[in-house]
Amino acid sequence: MNDKNKALLIISVIAAIGAGQAHAQSSLTLYGILDVFGGYQSTKTGGKNTSLYVLGNNGELTSRWGLRGTEDLGGGYRTTFALESGFDPGTGKQQNSYRFFDRQAWVGIAAPYGEVRFGRQNTPMFGWSGNMDAFGAATYGSGYNNFANWLARVDNDISYISPKVANTQLEVHYSVGGQPGTLAGNAVYQAGVQTNQGPVYFALAYLNAANATNTVRVQEIMAGGNYDYGRGKIYIGFFRANDVISSTTGNALSNPAGKYDPTVGPVGNVAGNYHSTWSFSADYKFSAALSAGAGYAFIKDSSSLGNNARQMSAIMNYDLSKRTRVYGVVSRLNNSNTAQFKMAGASITTGSFLTPGAGQSETGVQVGIRHLF
């Protein structure tokens, strides 16, 4: 998209917001996040000690701007939609050079008995993972995010989101594979449930993605939650997948489409070929503005590679206001055998992190600021 078209888009957005304010039955919201950090990483690559100092993007949250809105259709029915685009504040560039709304692009109908959505959507695993981790499933410090590698979003997705019953909500998804003569080839199936019961939050999600011929499937399961003890929360997260996700082999669920691509990475067809990630963390609020947290995570590789890893981390957050936060993270990651897991954070731009050599450890430090609008 050239600068002229972008300018026209912004003008259209402003005009649309004005129109939305003029009609009480409809709403349109422009929102966004800017997240920039100073980062340090140290590891051994190519047999040499290597350090990286960087001004990076997207440490605690991915920088983005978006539009979301509703239109009242009457009788308890509403049209809903969301458009969301990621960018890097350090350069102003789009995160995805070949699609403008790379994060979300869907339209739906909401009714008293639930909501149906059509388009590019976040997965339940991505949406709920931050509730299972004191690091919000982001920053250098989140071993849960660095190891588990769940699928974040899927193209051509049809979803149903139930109303909340007893503080419990169900989601089911089917992503059209687009293969001639079959509804199963390259299809992605998802189901999940989340619930709040007093101080306890719990979520369970499952994903099943077929290859183009529907002969091999990636399977992922996530479970976990948190307990609010008053001055903070205790978190636990679990993730298991038969996708061999060590960086030496790649991830067969190729983003950003979320479809199974066997040329990218292998999937275990042998019983026991899976990765299991466990994460344990907690935080504590010293005041309404200041909090600190710590966590430990590990991944167990039961494939023939035996690429295990573990990570210990700590984080501090200070809220300058309801919209602006500064944060700091320190972390240590240890790889085993030929594993090359790295501290990747929330959608950190390539060049803002180091990939350790096979079996090498890594140290990371982040100091950042994020602003919501």
**CATH code of 249's domain:** 2.40.160.10
* Domain assignment of residue 175, yes or no: yes
0.85 surpassed by pTM:
yes
Residue 148: domain span: 25-372
> 263: pLDDT confidence band, cut at 50, 70 and 90?
confident
* Separation of alpha carbons 243 and 78, rounded Å: 39
* Separation of alpha carbons 302 and 299, rounded Å: 10
* Domain assignment of residue 91, yes or no: yes
The answer to whether residues 180 and 186 touch, using CB atoms and an 8 Å cutoff, is: no
The values of phi and psi at residue 40, to 5°, are: -135, 130
Name the residue with tokens 């920088």. 63
What's the structural domain count of the chain? 1
**Run of H or E residues at 144:** helix 143-148
* Domain assignment of residue 15, yes or no: no
The answer to whether residues 306 and 100 touch, using CB atoms and an 8 Å cutoff, is: no
The answer to whether residues 153 and 103 touch, using CB atoms and an 8 Å cutoff, is: yes
* Domain assignment of residue 125, yes or no: yes
Segment 237-254 mean pLDDT:
83
List beta partners, residue 201: 196, 226
Q: Please give the DSSP secondary-structure letter assigned to residue 348.
A: P
* Domain assignment of residue 12, yes or no: no
* Separation of alpha carbons 322 and 372, rounded Å: 9
* Domain assignment of residue 364, yes or no: yes
Percentage of the chain beyond pLDDT 70 is 91
pLDDT at 21 over 70: no
pLDDT at 325 over 80: yes
* Domain assignment of residue 185, yes or no: yes
The answer to whether residues 104 and 82 touch, using CB atoms and an 8 Å cutoff, is: yes
> pLDDT, tens digit, for every residue of 107-156?
999 999 999 999 999 999 999 999 999 999 999 999 999 999 899 999 99
* Domain assignment of residue 44, yes or no: yes
- Segment among 8-17, 121-130, 238-247 with least mean pLDDT: 8-17
The answer to whether residues 115 and 161 touch, using CB atoms and an 8 Å cutoff, is: yes
> pLDDT, tens digit, for every residue of 287-312?
999 999 999 999 999 888 889 999 99
